[in-house]
Structure 1
Amino acid sequence: MAKQQNVFAFIDGDKKTRKEQARAVRALGLEAQRQLDESQPKKDFNAGFPKRRWSSGGQPRRHSGRGASILHDGGVKVAGHTAATAYPFCAGPNLGASGPPIGEDLYGGGLFCADPWDLYRRGIISGMAMLLFGTVGTGKSSLSKSWTTRLVQFGKKLAVASDLKGEWTEVIHRLKGKVIQIGPGLPTRLNPLEEGVRPSIDRMGNPLSDEGWAMMVRTRRLSILTTIVKILTGQDDLTPAENNALQEGVEGAIAIAERAGRMMIIPDVIEALKVAEKESPRKISDACEDLVMSLERLHTGDVGGMFDGLSTVTFESDVPAVSIDTAALRGATQTGRRVASACCGTWIEAMVTNPDGGQRLVVYEEGWDAVTSRADLERMVENWKLARDYGIFNILILHKVSDLNMAGDQGSQMAAMAKSLLADADIKVIYRQDAAALRATTEELELNDKERQMLKTLPKGTGLWRLGQKTFHVSNDLTDEEEPLFDTDQRLRASGDTGDDDAFVTVGDHRFTDWAAPGAGKDVA
């Protein structure tokens, strides 16, 4: 295209004269532009291409709608119910086939598979914790056992901190794991002051030094002893004198254990406190006396003989599963059960919270009881926050959302800690809820009307999975061999390996559940 021509002129005179001169200048400019266009032929951009031939309707004109090659659809906004009616055969999103199969996605997504570590890697969840809700008889226990068992087949490890009913004993035996049964009259002892498994690196990623390891062990021992004293005395916190006395007791117990050439035990702390009672100022001496009376309950009280000596069992980090069966404690006092739960939980977590130990699932059964204990609640909150550092995934099993309110009065620190468990759990599975619990469930989990109505009538073994902002309607499918193994409605069977391995298939040196064995895909619905 020719360059536009500009005409410059000086215009002077009155108003009328200036207008006439301006018109003349514009006319000159247009004439100069015309002459320039005629002197430079126009470029034919269609040269070399076949001549366009239009239909009988002629060349498309603006707004005619003819000859259009691309249609842009702006979409139509409709309600979800209307869209579901118009497109009834559309399926929801699918998580893919990474991880063990759990069952069928009833929203039409096909097989539902889930691996929490893979979900975290893909950014679907940001917290390594799960809350499982369901009333009695809805199948929540079967889900927890089937999913964790299948994850073990995928290379993960399992730990059950305190099995109050003994429901996991046979499951652990079937996985060729280790069950530690503890209770009054049983020969098993656990030493809550054991060092645990030493990691190879510290929190900064540097090689862990001997001094750093000694400090970690000392801190852990002071923590469990403080927890035990709080439970036994009913205090929310220790006084400065008691804290000082307990530190002197731990330092003295370390020396006693070194002279004896063994691991520190609770009686060493008691002996060191008695020595400090005689040598310390009166205020600390009185605190030592009170601590001695409290800790002696572990030696002679209702939990005597369980935590007052060297451990009679060892933790084997290479076993696929381990659990502590505390069913024998059901007849003990509430204080005794809480002390036992704190000691068992601390012992097993000292073993599994090692980044070098691989990926491990930690299951907390009967969450309604755990949240009422400050020691258990604080330990769970810590594990929730540090799960990614430890390489663990936590599973807390509750009957209903309102069970978390049992932690304490509204506005209290205990209630706030319980609520943090709910907020930090990015996987929430809800099985059928009764009418009384439905309102609290809807409000706390922000369910919509459809999900609320669904929770009233969910069949056994079917639940809603909330993964971050995604919701799935999933049925937990069990094989014929798995159903009797995971059935908690039957009376507890005797613990131990019965020799019945029908639920597993041996291929070479590996053992699989019947759905995971090579060539057994037909068993998966």
Structure 2
Amino acid sequence: MTGTARGRDVTRLLADFGHDVPTLGAAPTPPKEARLFRHQPRRGTRVAGRGWAAASAPVTAYRMTSDQAPVFWPFIAGPGLPPTGAQMGIDMLSGSAFHADPVGWVLRDDIPVTNANVVCMGKPGTGKSATTKAFCLRMTDFGYRILILGDPKDEYERLCRFFGVTPFALGPGMPARINPLGLGPLAHGWADLTAEAARSRSAVAFTRWLTLVRALVGSQRIGSERVPFGPSEETVVKTALEDLTGYGTGNTTLTETTIPKLWHYLDAPTDRLIQQCRYSSRQHFLDQTRLLRDALGQLVSGALAGLFDDLTNIDVDWRAPIQSLSLSRLNPLGDEAVGTALVCLNSWGRGMREIADPGDLRVVVRDEVWKAMRLGVEAVKSLDEDLRLSRGVAGRGGDIQWLNAHKPSDMLTVGDQGSQAANIARDLMHLADVKILHGQKQGVARELDDMLGLGDQAREVMTGWAMQRKGRALWLVGERPYKVETRLHPLEEHLTWTNEALEGAI
């Protein structure tokens, strides 16, 4: 062979004719000396498992949500909450247990919560009631007591029976009576108070009563307009209450009055009342207070006659784990009657908590709160006042105010868009630093996004993940979102079940 021509060598030629040429073994290669230092290429050694790269990797920035980040960094979680309070379920973002402790969160500087109010909102059937009851039940292990200020559907009766407590039932023909103008604990030891302490207590009581009467009168309508309650009406009502209780004449003890007594006193005013309210004559007084007196008269002789117009005759054991006031028997009277009852119970419940012992903490549940808010701006102001005072006053009180609703538009129907009532109702959402948002339809999720600035990811949690199973919700603790699935013990599932009516219909 010459040049670069390819062909068979002699060994192959002989092999083709059946002759194998013996071969010699290859000489062993002497071992190389080990090197102390070895040069490495810039991109690494081109060997499997050595991290070699064909090109330099550019530095790239990625932006993602906390829901997406665990895919790339599964062992890194966002700022968690301390394991205090009721263990509600699983924090799906971190995989750890989720604990709810609203009062404890307020006391910590590293959690952006300034009040213990809770708004629980969700489409019917998404687990809103179960979450509420599970929280209440589990917080009793930490010394909390439960107060259900109006149970329109008897949803909490089974929970009361579990603790051996019978709910108080209010309704036509029922013996229970609640006086929303009752003094409550403020009457205890009044004769022993100093003049300054008596003035302080009376100011608390009269403020509560004026808030109640303003809400009740404002719930009445003249066509499409609400009955007005201005400074003149407030002066008349306050002066009448001072006369009826004896405070205006300097009595050392106050006499408890009722709404019917207030109505009769205004319908047949004394000369002293007319003079104190600066009316020129009896007829002038009657003409100017006609709407006020007629509105109070409707409460006395209307659908709720006999329920809130006498002295309280129920003996509430405030040391019991739970107390509930059933309103299911009022449902045939309509939403407005139930809403009025809720306003009366709200005033009565506030009176029962005005002198709470330090450390006596309660979860105060307000179910179907939208029924009370639809009574007008004054009813909304009453609820607004409760939320603002949830931290307690003068070192006393301080409860977890828990509001249940279906959607934000339930609250905003209290008035026209941009009205005072609608603005106050909208602000109620911001007076609750803890929000539990269960599954919602797209339209409602957009409403919540517009109101709270949640963002696309939060909306997807409510409209997607939370709708797939009961008990799933987006928890907003201050500004921090948590994707939580409530887990129930079989006993709790029995206590929180609310579909008996549907089961019975099948």
- The structural deviation recorded for 1:199 is 9.9
> What SS does structure 2 have at the residue aligned with 1:387?
coil
Q: Which residue matches 1:237?
A: 228
- The structural deviation recorded for 1:87 is 1.8
RMSD: 3.2
Q: What's the CA shift string for 1:184-238, capped at 9, x where partnerless?
A: 111111111111223999xxxx997123223322332233223222223563532
Q: Which residue matches 1:350?
A: 351
What amino acid sits opposite 1:464 in the alignment? Answer: L
Q: What's the CA shift string for 1:476-505, capped at 9, x where partnerless?
A: 111111112101122399xxxxxxxxxxxx
Q: 1:419 aligns with which of 421, 426, 433?
A: 426
Mapping for residues 77-476 of structure 1, pairs under 5 Å: 77-80=61-64, 83-123=69-109, 124=111, 125-177=113-165, 179-198=167-186, 209-233=197-221, 235=226, 237-255=228-246, 263-276=256-269, 280=274, 281=281, 282-356=283-357, 358-374=360-376, 375-389=378-392, 390-457=397-464, 458=466, 459-476=469-486
What amino acid sits opposite 2:375 in the alignment? Answer: S
Give the Cα–Cα distance (whole angstroms) in 2 for the partners of residues 213 and 492 of structure 1. 49
- The structural deviation recorded for 1:260 is 12
What amino acid sits opposite 1:94 in the alignment? Answer: G
- The structural deviation recorded for 1:261 is 9.3
- The structural deviation recorded for 1:355 is 4.4
What amino acid sits opposite 2:368 in the alignment? Answer: E
Give the Cα–Cα distance (whole angstroms) in 1 for the partners of residues 398 and 187 of structure 2. 12
8 Å contact from structure 1 (residues 199, 208) kept in 2: no
- The structural deviation recorded for 1:332 is 1.2
Q: What's the CA shift string for 1:234-283, capped at 9, x where partnerless?
A: 63532454334323422332249989996222232233224316773232
Distance 1:233-1:109 versus aligned 2 partners, 3 A rule = same
In the alignment, structure 2 segments of 5+ residues that lack a partner are 1-34, 38-58, 275-280
8 Å contact from structure 1 (residues 93, 109) kept in 2: no
- The structural deviation recorded for 1:447 is 2.6
- The structural deviation recorded for 1:109 is 3.8
- The structural deviation recorded for 1:105 is 1.3
What amino acid sits opposite 2:443 in the alignment? Answer: A
8 Å contact from structure 1 (residues 164, 366) kept in 2: yes
How many pairs are equivalent? Answer: 418
Q: Compute the TM-score of the two structures, normalised by the length of structure 1.
A: 0.72
8 Å contact from structure 1 (residues 157, 359) kept in 2: yes
What amino acid sits opposite 1:190 in the alignment? Answer: I
> What SS does structure 2 have at the residue aligned with 1:79?
coil
Give the Cα–Cα distance (whole angstroms) in 2 for the partners of residues 260 and 290 of structure 1. 32
In the alignment, structure 1 segments of 5+ residues that lack a partner are 1-54, 58-74, 494-525
Give the Cα–Cα distance (whole angstroms) in 2 for the partners of residues 283 and 207 of structure 1. 35
What amino acid sits opposite 2:238 in the alignment? Answer: Q
8 Å contact from structure 1 (residues 167, 492) kept in 2: no
Q: Which residue matches 1:499?
A: none
1:482 lines up with 2:492 in the alignment: yes
Give the Cα–Cα distance (whole angstroms) in 1 for the partners of residues 230 and 427 of structure 2. 27
8 Å contact from structure 1 (residues 249, 270) kept in 2: no
Q: Which residue matches 1:37?
A: none
Q: What's the CA shift string for 1:391-438, capped at 9, x where partnerless?
A: 011111122233332222221111111111112221111111112322
How many percent identity over aligned positions? Answer: 27
What amino acid sits opposite 2:266 in the alignment? Answer: L
Q: What's the CA shift string for 1:45-91, capped at 9, x where partnerless?
A: xxxxxxxxxx988xxxxxxxxxxxxxxxxx97422268544323433
Distance 1:492-1:249 versus aligned 2 partners, 3 A rule = farther
Give the Cα–Cα distance (whole angstroms) in 1 for the partners of residues 203 and 461 of structure 2. 52
Distance 1:177-1:216 versus aligned 2 partners, 3 A rule = same
> What SS does structure 2 have at the residue aligned with 1:310?
coil
> What SS does structure 1 have at the residue aligned with 2:374?
coil
8 Å contact from structure 1 (residues 172, 323) kept in 2: yes
Give the Cα–Cα distance (whole angstroms) in 1 for the partners of residues 479 and 485 of structure 2. 19
Give the Cα–Cα distance (whole angstroms) in 2 for the partners of residues 477 and 168 of structure 1. 19
Distance 1:85-1:410 versus aligned 2 partners, 3 A rule = same
